[in-house]
Structure 1
């Protein structure tokens, strides 16, 4: 009788990939929003 156990490392790697990918996406979104806000601020100051 053949028995295959589940390999948990696939789930661990997927969880880290999702976590790191989400962190990178959140940082990129915040950075782009900050740049847009700075551009709007500079536009109102007449630069």
Structure 2
């Protein structure tokens, strides 16, 4: 079906899928970390500059 290079073709698809999955997981975990840090800073009273002075 894929010829003599079938193993390498399927292996490259597999490696690509693993790398994309790892990148997606990294993005999700980093997003959670940033949200946690922002919530922690918000509890301590540290506000973002983009919120303006009226946001307090």
TM-score, normalisation: structure 1: 0.79
Choose between structure 1 and 2: higher helix proportion.
Answer: 2
- Cα distance in 1 for residues equivalent to 2:34 and 2:21: 20
- Cα distance in 1 for residues equivalent to 2:23 and 2:10: 20
Q: How many residues align?
A: 42
Q: Which runs of 4+ in 1 moved over 3 A?
A: none
Q: Offset of 1:40 from its aligned partner? A: 0.1
When the two chains are superposed, the root-mean-square deviation of aligned CA atoms in Å is 1.7
Greater RCO, CA 8 A, separation 6+: 2
Which sections of structure 2, spanning at least 5 residues, go unmatched? 47-56
What residue in structure 2 maps to residue 16 of structure 1? 17
TM-score, normalisation: structure 2: 0.68
Q: Which SS does the other structure have where 2:21 is aligned?
A: helix
Which sections of structure 1, spanning at least 5 residues, go unmatched? none
